[in-house]
Structure 1
Amino acid sequence: MGQNGGPGPCDRDVLGRVGRPQDDPHLRRNPHGILNERHLHVADTFPRQYARTQRLTLGEPRNLSVSPDGKRVVFCRSRGGSDPVNCLWLLDIATGEERLVADPGELLMGADDAALPPEERARRERAREGAGGVVSYSTNTEVTVAAFTLAGRLFVVGLLSALSRELIVPGPVFDPRPDPGANRVAYISGGRLCLAELDGTTTVLAGEDNPEVTWGLAEFIAAEEMGRGRGFWWSPDGEAIAVARVDNSTVQRWYLTNPADPAEEPRRIAYPAAGTENASVSLFVITPGQPKREIVWDQDSFPYLVDVSWFDRTTVLLTVQSRDQRDVQVLLGNAADGSTTLSSADHDDRWVELVRGVPATLADGRLVTCADRDGARSLLVDGRPVTQPDLQVRSVTTVGNTNVFFCASPTDDPTVQHVYRWNVLSGTDQLTTEPGVHTASAAGSTVVVRTASLDRPRARAAVLNGPEIWSYAETPLVTPNLTMLRVGPRRLATAVLLPAGRAPRDGGPALPVLLDPYGGPHAQRVVSSYAAMCASQWFADQGFAVVVCDGAGTPGRGSAWEREVFGDLAQPVLDDQVGALAGAAAEVGILDLARVGIRGWSFGGYLAALAVLRRPDVFHAAVAGAPVTDWRLYDTHYTERYLGNPAVDTGPYERTSLLTDASNLARPLLLIHGLADDNVVAAHTLQFSSALVAAGRPHEVLPLSGVSHMTPQEVVAENLLLLQLEFLRRHLRA
């Protein structure tokens, strides 16, 4: 707020709406007349900008869908880099014209978009979604109609006419999906699968009075770890729906409290921690007016339902996985009698990696999957690898009639990712060449590519050989001063960021060092993306040499590299951080190894605390945010993949627990944790702190009331950066 209670420089959710001259010739406008320049915020700082823009993501086009005829692209985007409310837009590829097709402000007419049903709140937390408005939508097959929710209410929009309306149905509504012909909409309400006609007439297709049983919802493990955020699927002809039934009655209950408000009742959650029972998940086919038919498979051997789609109008394609994750089967389910037959199977002595976008089928019926073969993750067609072993397939974007679009990294350079097309006749073509991180959305012959690179502050989304989709994201207030290295005998991918004006071996004073890793499986920090380096650069500009390394277990470098953490999520990861630090110091030459700090969040928080516990000779202070401290408190699917089932063997859990090493703490440690975190629950930090107190080891704890794992609150996100900086300066004499 301003000094007189009026709008201050950040008191707006769309740039230029309040207190700014609209005719300033120095301010660039996008085609929709919205001001979008960083110097609008005259008192800005990077921490404030980073928080206000939700880590520089607001205003960027997202959730892109290409119509099968290749004529239009549907996407979500807010009106500005500080606007958290997404609208729904359409790009006409032939003309390059963008049209606003759904505006939450107009549709809600002032109602509160934050009034979300619990299922939507959970979905956004699992997806790390901090924005509002239209954050997800679904369409019919031809992409002419879309359905979405606002504040638990159901809306539909004709994408060609841009006419939106509310469909009045009993709610609250979650995950609405039009049938393929856009004649009806299925949705979830209160754990029940419902079907709405276009006049609002509603039928409950499946549901039970038992609050532990839901129909059509993804269970926690599917949404958090498997990448399956949905629980029902229309058949191609729109006559039937495959739907997951989830029974949480066997899952242990945990309680999240809000100590800041003792009158608030604890929140009760079903959390399947490692070694405990998962939810029981089964699959049914429902045809309105007919009895439900269960799709039957060996659920004792394969309890995880990974993915569901339709092979044809009478056959369901489902993927199931064993509890130890060493076996995966793709099954064909007969929608008429519920029987299943094996289509494909894969086994790995450590674990079978799940890849988004597969399985799927080509027009000729051949099955497209991914699997680790010859040292890399390959694209397979009917079990035969069709990509070379120097490519690590990361995801499959689209499987069409004759084309498969996918993203992959060269195994010798995980810092980049390119888009490829495999064709049944011509084989594999690389569609992107610019160094950077490319992703894609495709249908038919139309491909939309999003490119993040080190050369541009903002990512660019454009149709290949066609128009660009505007991004309203703000330009970062920092400029990466970056050196990308491959260090040591393991050629560790390492980024070194120096303060503005400094350079490697420039003869200036040695700089205190800050390691800024994530370091764990399934995530990278060292990528060819400008925005990915901005937070680290801000710390560098405060007087640090920041070192970022992707070591053992991180994706992109082949099958063996990812599996180096099997049985031990601690020592191999920590060893590579130490190796990267030594290699960076040798290359850059101005790092003060007597003043080394480390910070991280989630797995990175675990790694930061681990570093000062096990290598106090190298690391002199640590900030550990939302750290896992005892892997027995983390979920089944993630943890058991790497450490096995603690009910069978506790050894890997004891070797990787921070509680075991608590008495070794001899360096300053700041622990930060959101008390509303339902992913890495606050018990991790609280139990670790108790162990440190019992061992007589001083440390600092910063509890965040009402804050979840993704810290979405603007004031929290801004001040967390400042508080970490103060701690590091205090203890590293920076």
Structure 2
Amino acid sequence: MKRYFLVLFLIGATCLANAQSEITLEDIYKKGTFRTKSVQGLRSMNDGKTYVSIEIDTATQDRFVARNNYKDGEIAERLFSQADLVYEDIKLPIGTDFSANEEKILIAHEREAIYRRSSKAYYYVFDIKSKKITPVSTKEGKQMYATFSPDASKVAFVRDNNLFVTDLATGAETQITTDGKYNEIINGGADWVYEEEFAFAKAFFWSPDGNKIAFYRFDEREVREFSMMMYEDLYPTVYKFKYPKPGEKNSVVSIHIYDLEKKTTKTADVGTETDQYIPRVKWTQDPNLLCVFRMNRHQNNLDYLFVDAETGSSKVALTETDKYYIDINDDLTFLEDGKHFFLTSERDGYNHVYLYNMDGELVRQITDGDWEVTRLYGVNQKTNTLYYQSTESSPLERDIYSINLSGKKKTKLSTQKGTNSATFSEDFSYYILNHSSVETPPYITLNNAKGEVERVLEDNAEALKVNEQYGITPREFFSFTTSEGVELNGYMIKPADFDPNKKYPVLMYVYGGPGSQNVANSWNHNYWFDFLAQHDYLVVCVDNRGTGFRGAEFKKMTYLQLGKYEIIDQIEAAKWLGKQSYVDEDRIGLWGWSYGGYMASLAITKGADVFKSTIAVAPVTNWRFYDTIYTERYLRTPQENPEGYDNNSPINFADKLKGNFLLVHGTADDNVHFQNSVMFSEALIQANVPFEQAYYPNKNHGIYGGNTSIHLFNKITKFVFEKL
């Protein structure tokens, strides 16, 4: 489950028109008044000294792709322009999806979104030197996940749940699989639950030499279908897709390796157990050795299998276990020496980097301490220098570090307090640093390998001016200790003319799900919160137990009883706020989206004596309604842990609801199904409890499009003003 609040964190070009002293919802959701500038579309070239970007010719207004120098930002070469991208009167979109040798570009035309990460389109290959454009396929139907081979001589793609390869020299199209069928067999793509919870949709991978393709096969015939009604047409249609719910059957997943020269397919030996997960596969530096992640259904045992691509035979190279669960990531990196790899693990209680040899023997722990490595940027294998982001300064902040693979020579590259992220050039000689804090909008610089600023790319000075014009004040951080002795972090937004002798109503915002974080020293303004502050509300957010970046025990203590400690902490936060002299303890509310909507539903039932009003958007109301991978990771199955499901599902506490409650959902939510709100509504009705509800026709988990966002927040705002 992922939070769907991105619409509030607006990114783009700053636009300040008809400046007003008071924030309006139109400013936030229509005009883009508070948008900040970013540096987008930069892709490092193989030489490490140049990058490509999409520019505009001021004379012709034609867009073009340029190769630029990192050092001074000057254009070194115009590679191609929008005018070059015309195929048989079809104007193709411009892009920078380069082949590995940087000679060709993949272009997706008429892209059509499917789920969170999946889409289909008509793909074309543009040869930069010859300007020739070639369709990836001349056969009927859009393609999915088109990907160049390492030498750019071929493109693999998925169509109609089957895997294909096109030879760009001859135009010959080879169909690798033939048994693909909607809602039955998927080759080369992920099923719904893998895409959502293991965060990948493309499920095929070229070997380093381009002679083989490893691919997933999902047999979802035994997975039960979920149906959603779509209301656009005269007669509504039913959309059906496979969605495994807790305790139900998952797809049977297998891994296969196709040899392009021999035209044969080998099946990887992943064991005889079929009720398991294969959350990742990754080629090693050896083009005949594939690494397959094998995880049990409880998700607390992870085997790294090394598979011989010629025979399909496998051996366990390394096993990771956890008394709770293991989070999957993409940190596994095989070094060019062919003898070592490194990965991240929480085995010592915090997420750190470990180096192994190819026999699976631990060489050393590279990073250590009571802090977390939050992102790996890569390794300069010429100098054996690893670059990463971490919370070493504070769980609320992020800094950039380098360290030798020996675990020595650790260097802090970022210097400003707040949140720092980096994008490195191919040879790690330069990086683009994005810094922000509660007081500083994204400040983007180009830095050299020593961390020295070469030039400022964007300072977002206009965004600061806009905030000043609207009287927006930075968030204030605080912490408090609960009655159980737990220290929790929070932030507060106060009116610009805050009077400590006045009592204010409070609206709390929560997400609160496993491993998440809302309380952080970053810009990420939610201007609806500032809008409420202008109307004399305090806006408060507290990260409860179960959230991330404070160690595994803090994050994983909610295991087997999801929701229990989270809502205890939010209730404790509300009670603590109620004791502050400037808070009206009778006017404390809470709202959230997705997992936060779940929390809001618990707050108005289990915490009904504390919260006057809550708003739940797209909430889980019964954990039995959600998917297998996410829910069982934290609760195991309903058959094993019925109390963990039922004791913390709001639907079972409808009769405890007091105060004011607004329930909002999109009818076409493929993630947290509309079923959650429908059945919660029914439980509230049968409990004869008054509440308000709103549904958004044909809208997914994000509830956006057209005037949807401003309509939604007009509704929520009206509810807050009237009920809190």
Q: Could you say whether these structures have the same fold, taking a TM-score greater than 0.5 normalized by the shorter chain as the test?
A: yes
**CA displacement at 1:299 relative to structure 2:** 5.4
Instruction: Give distance in 2, aligned partners of 1:78 and 1:602.
Output: 39
Match of 2:297 in 1: 323
Cα separation, partners in 2 of 1:95 and 1:459, compared to 1, 3 Å: closer
Match of 1:25 in 2: none
**CA displacement at 1:493 relative to structure 2:** 1.4
Match of 2:115 in 1: none
**CA displacement at 1:719 relative to structure 2:** 2.1
Q: 1:448 aligns with which of 410, 429, 432?
A: 432
Q: 1:155 aligns with which of 124, 128, 132?
A: 124
Kindly report which structure 2 residues correspond to 1:706-725, keeping only aligned pairs within 5 A, or say none: 706-725=698-717
Instruction: Give distance in 2, aligned partners of 1:717 and 1:139.
Output: 35
Instruction: Give distance in 2, aligned partners of 1:259 and 1:193.
Output: 33
Q: What letter is aligned with 2:630?
A: Y
User: Retained in 2: the 8 A contact 1:329–1:344?
Assistant: yes
Cα separation, partners in 2 of 1:320 and 1:74, compared to 1, 3 Å: farther
Cα separation, partners in 2 of 1:137 and 1:576, compared to 1, 3 Å: farther
Cα separation, partners in 2 of 1:516 and 1:331, compared to 1, 3 Å: same
Cα separation, partners in 2 of 1:501 and 1:142, compared to 1, 3 Å: farther
Match of 2:551 in 1: 558
Match of 1:121 in 2: none
Instruction: Give distance in 2, aligned partners of 1:101 and 1:53.
Output: 35
User: Retained in 2: the 8 A contact 1:54–1:712?
Assistant: no
Q: Helix, strand or coil for the counterpart of 2:264?
A: coil
Instruction: Give distance in 2, aligned partners of 1:441 and 1:368.
Output: 20
**CA displacement at 1:46 relative to structure 2:** 5.0
Match of 1:615 in 2: 607
User: Retained in 2: the 8 A contact 1:251–1:276?
Assistant: yes
Q: What letter is aligned with 1:219?
A: D
- Identity over aligned residues, as a percent? 23
**CA displacement at 1:142 relative to structure 2:** 4.3
Cα separation, partners in 2 of 1:693 and 1:648, compared to 1, 3 Å: same
Cα separation, partners in 2 of 1:336 and 1:319, compared to 1, 3 Å: same
**CA displacement at 1:62 relative to structure 2:** 4.8
- Confirm or deny that 1:94 pairs with 2:94: no
Q: Helix, strand or coil for the counterpart of 1:719?
A: helix
**How far does the alpha carbon of each residue in 1:591-631 deviate from its partner, in whole angstroms, 9 at most, with x for none?**
21110111100000000111010112210001100000000
**CA displacement at 1:371 relative to structure 2:** 1.2
Match of 2:26 in 1: 48
**How far does the alpha carbon of each residue in 1:644-669 deviate from its partner, in whole angstroms, 9 at most, with x for none?**
11132312101111111011111111
Q: 1:297 aligns with which of 245, 256, 270?
A: 270
- Confirm or deny that 1:437 pairs with 2:419: yes
Match of 1:39 in 2: 17
User: Retained in 1: the 8 A contact 2:45–2:51?
Assistant: yes
Match of 2:4 in 1: none
Instruction: Give distance in 1, aligned partners of 2:301 and 2:679.
Output: 35
Cα separation, partners in 2 of 1:538 and 1:285, compared to 1, 3 Å: same
Instruction: Give distance in 2, aligned partners of 1:40 and 1:101.
Output: 40
Structure 1, 686-695 or 715-724: larger mean CA deviation: 715-724
Instruction: Give distance in 2, aligned partners of 1:526 and 1:104.
Output: 42
Q: Which runs of 5+ in 1 are unaligned?
A: 1-13, 16-34, 80-85, 114-132
Instruction: Give distance in 2, aligned partners of 1:94 and 1:164.
Output: 32
- Confirm or deny that 1:229 pairs with 2:201: yes
Match of 2:395 in 1: 414
Kindly report which structure 2 residues correspond to 1:18-417, keeping only aligned pairs within 5 A, or say none: 36-39=14-17, 47-52=25-30, 60-62=38-40, 65-74=43-52, 91-97=68-74, 107=85, 138-151=97-110, 152-157=121-126, 165=133, 167=135, 169=137, 170=139, 171-199=141-169, 200-211=171-182, 212-259=184-231, 261=233, 263-289=235-261, 290-298=263-271, 300=273, 303-311=276-284, 312-361=286-335, 363-382=337-356, 383=362, 384-401=364-381, 402-410=384-392, 413-417=394-398
Instruction: Give distance in 1, aligned partners of 2:345 and 2:166.
Output: 40
**CA displacement at 1:532 relative to structure 2:** 3.9
Instruction: Give distance in 2, aligned partners of 1:248 and 1:599.
Output: 37
Match of 2:595 in 1: 603
**CA displacement at 1:191 relative to structure 2:** 1.7
- Confirm or deny that 1:457 pairs with 2:441: yes
Cα separation, partners in 2 of 1:264 and 1:240, compared to 1, 3 Å: same
Structure 1, 306-315 or 199-208: larger mean CA deviation: 199-208
Instruction: Give distance in 2, aligned partners of 1:342 and 1:77.
Output: 49
User: Retained in 2: the 8 A contact 1:494–1:584?
Assistant: no
Match of 2:5 in 1: none
User: Retained in 1: the 8 A contact 2:180–2:186?
Assistant: no
- Confirm or deny that 1:500 pairs with 2:493: no
**How far does the alpha carbon of each residue in 1:455-488 deviate from its partner, in whole angstroms, 9 at most, with x for none?**
3234536444445555999947663432111222
**CA displacement at 1:267 relative to structure 2:** 0.6
Instruction: Give distance in 2, aligned partners of 1:270 and 1:87.
Output: 42
**How far does the alpha carbon of each residue in 1:361-417 deviate from its partner, in whole angstroms, 9 at most, with x for none?**
45352121111133211111113321122221223232453333322213x832112
User: Scaled by the length of structure 2, what TM-score is found?
Assistant: 0.84
Cα separation, partners in 2 of 1:185 and 1:528, compared to 1, 3 Å: same
**CA displacement at 1:219 relative to structure 2:** 2.1
Match of 1:531 in 2: 524
Q: What letter is aligned with 1:264?
A: P
**CA displacement at 1:508 relative to structure 2:** 4.4
**CA displacement at 1:676 relative to structure 2:** 0.7
Instruction: Give distance in 2, aligned partners of 1:56 and 1:333.
Output: 51
Instruction: Give distance in 2, aligned partners of 1:557 and 1:89.
Output: 43
User: Retained in 2: the 8 A contact 1:461–1:470?
Assistant: yes
Q: What letter is aligned with 1:492?
A: L
User: Retained in 2: the 8 A contact 1:510–1:592?
Assistant: yes
Q: 1:670 aligns with which of 655, 662, 666?
A: 662
User: Retained in 1: the 8 A contact 2:160–2:181?
Assistant: no
Structure 1, 297-306 or 235-244: larger mean CA deviation: 297-306
Q: What letter is aligned with 1:391?
A: W
Q: What letter is aligned with 1:37?
A: C
Instruction: Give distance in 2, aligned partners of 1:444 and 1:336.
Output: 33
**CA displacement at 1:284 relative to structure 2:** 1.1
**CA displacement at 1:247 relative to structure 2:** 1.6
User: Retained in 1: the 8 A contact 2:162–2:180?
Assistant: no
Q: What letter is aligned with 1:501?
A: D
Match of 1:695 in 2: 687
Cα separation, partners in 2 of 1:209 and 1:507, compared to 1, 3 Å: closer
User: Retained in 2: the 8 A contact 1:205–1:288?
Assistant: no
Cα separation, partners in 2 of 1:285 and 1:580, compared to 1, 3 Å: same
**How far does the alpha carbon of each residue in 1:568-591 deviate from its partner, in whole angstroms, 9 at most, with x for none?**
2222101222233344555x6422
- Confirm or deny that 1:649 pairs with 2:633: no
Q: What letter is aligned with 2:489?
A: A
**CA displacement at 1:435 relative to structure 2:** 1.9
Q: Helix, strand or coil for the counterpart of 2:391?
A: strand
